[in-house]
Structure 1
Amino acid sequence: MNAAVLTVGDELLAGRTTNTNATWLCRRLNDRGVSVERVTTVPDRTEDIARTVEEYRQAYDAVVVTGGLGPTHDDVTMAAVASALERDLEEHADAIAWLADDGYSRGDLTDGTADLPTGARAIHNEVGVAPGAVLENVYVLPGVPSEMKAMFESVASEFTGTTTYREEIVVDEPESALLDRIAAVRERFDVTVGSYPGGSVRLALESTDEATLEEATTWLRERVDEAE
């Protein structure tokens, strides 16, 4: 399974808000064996969101959208997703019922709070008000981190893939000096290797076979100068 993550918000693009949602979602999807192949941030602009959702939903198994939910003037994500999938927005009965169970009467709710694309499956917001939605392979979640995390966990079982195992070796050698051994371990074993320089060099080995990864890691450790 592969996926794209789409985060929405002018504040993200201006650098006034750190995009922790994207990092968290990528980590959780990776934990479930899902390959995240795209992370994109777009402004609170209907046409930009709709265009990106339409492109990504055809290219990936799942698209996770976060941000821009609610009834205020700049909360346009749900309308944009509806546009991308050529649906209308309508009040969702399940969302209204859940909100009523949480103590919200219709009079308490701003107009549009429970409006979702026609045919969408509502996702209840356990720690907030604005509901999320699933429409085909598009998952729409709030931007508030606590709400996004709780909502994702309620649908996490729908994201499955092949588990990838990972090991890291911290090496006290220049990255350029390691090229021959990186090439050799990749040729000898069915693993991928990432090299991340800094004060030391981190070599990250990954494989879908745990035994192969352990063997490759042991082989490489015997041939590099590990940092203490």
Structure 2
Amino acid sequence: MNVAVVTVGDELLAGRTTNTNATWLCERLAERGATVERVTTVPDRVADIARVVNEYRAEYDAVVVTGGLGPTHDDVTMAGIAAAFGRSLETHDAALEWLENHGYSRSDLTDGTAKLPAGARALHNEEGVAPGAALDSVYVLPGVPAEMRAMFETIAPEFTGAKTYRETVVADEPESALLDRFDELHDRFDVSVGSYPGESVRVEIVSADEATAAEAAAWLRERVDEPS
């Protein structure tokens, strides 16, 4: 299952807020065997949201959008999703009923709180107020991390794929000096290899088979200088 993640928010693009939602979603999706192939951040503009979502829903099995939910002037994500599907925003009776059953009277709610694209499935917000939505292969979640994480867990079973296994090897050598061993690793084992230099080089070995990943990592550890 190939997935694109879209995060919405001017504050993300301005660097005022760290995009922890994208990192968390990528980790959780990978744990479920889904492959994240795009992570894109767009501003709080209906046209940008609609354009990117339209492009990605045609290209990927699912699109997860986070941020910009609610009734305030800069919460335009639902309008962008509605525009992407060519649908109107309508008060969602099931979302409104759920909110009322959880202590929010209609008079308490700001106008527009329960408006979702026509035909969407409401995703209830256990940690906040603004509901999310699922429409075909597009899932729309809040931007507040606690709300986003709780809501994602309610739809997590809808993301599937072949589970992969990851092993990490740390080498206290220049990355360029490891290239011959990476080539041999590929020849010997059915794995993918990523290397990430810093004070040392972190080597990530991934395989669809747990034993293969462990065996490849053990082979490499015997052939690199590990930090003391």
Tell me the TM-score range normalised by the shorter chain. Answer: over 0.9
Unaligned runs of 5+ in 2: none
When the two structures are superposed, what TM-score results if normalisation uses the length of structure 2? 0.98
Could you tell me which residue of structure 2 aligns to residue 185 of structure 1?
A: 185
State how far apart, in whole Å, the 1-side matches of 2:58 and 2:26 are: 20
Could you tell me which residue of structure 1 aligns to residue 26 of structure 2?
A: 26
State how far apart, in whole Å, the 1-side matches of 2:53 and 2:45 are: 12
Aligned residues: 228
How far residue 176 of structure 1 moved from its aligned partner, in angstroms, is 1.1
State how far apart, in whole Å, the 1-side matches of 2:173 and 2:188 are: 21
State how far apart, in whole Å, the 2-side matches of 1:55 and 1:174 are: 40
State how far apart, in whole Å, the 2-side matches of 1:147 and 1:202 are: 32
Map residues 22-171 of structure 1 onto 2, 5 A cutoff: 22-171=22-171
Give the letter for the 2:106 counterpart. Answer: R
How far residue 21 of structure 1 moved from its aligned partner, in angstroms, is 0.6
**3-state DSSP of counterpart to 1:227:** coil
- The runs of 4+ residues in structure 1 deviating greater than 6 Å are none
State how far apart, in whole Å, the 2-side matches of 1:7 and 1:17 are: 12
State how far apart, in whole Å, the 1-side matches of 2:111 and 2:192 are: 51
Could you tell me which residue of structure 1 aligns to residue 172 of structure 2?
A: 172
Could you tell me which residue of structure 2 aligns to residue 195 of structure 1?
A: 195
**3-state DSSP of counterpart to 1:56:** helix
Give the letter for the 1:136 counterpart. Answer: D
State how far apart, in whole Å, the 2-side matches of 1:175 and 1:69 are: 43
- Residues 2-45 of structure 1, C-alpha deviations (whole Å, 9 max, x = no match): 10000000000000111111111111111111100000000000
Could you tell me which residue of structure 1 aligns to residue 210 of structure 2?
A: 210
How far residue 183 of structure 1 moved from its aligned partner, in angstroms, is 0.7
State how far apart, in whole Å, the 1-side matches of 2:127 and 2:214 are: 41
Matched residues, percent identical?
Answer: 72
How far residue 173 of structure 1 moved from its aligned partner, in angstroms, is 1.4
**3-state DSSP of counterpart to 1:106:** coil
- Residues 102-155 of structure 1, C-alpha deviations (whole Å, 9 max, x = no match): 111111111111011111000010111100000000000011111101100111
State how far apart, in whole Å, the 1-side matches of 2:87 and 2:204 are: 44
State how far apart, in whole Å, the 2-side matches of 1:131 and 1:63 are: 17
**3-state DSSP of counterpart to 1:203:** strand
**3-state DSSP of counterpart to 1:107:** coil
How far residue 202 of structure 1 moved from its aligned partner, in angstroms, is 1.1
RMSD of aligned Cα (Å): 0.8
State how far apart, in whole Å, the 2-side matches of 1:94 and 1:169 are: 50
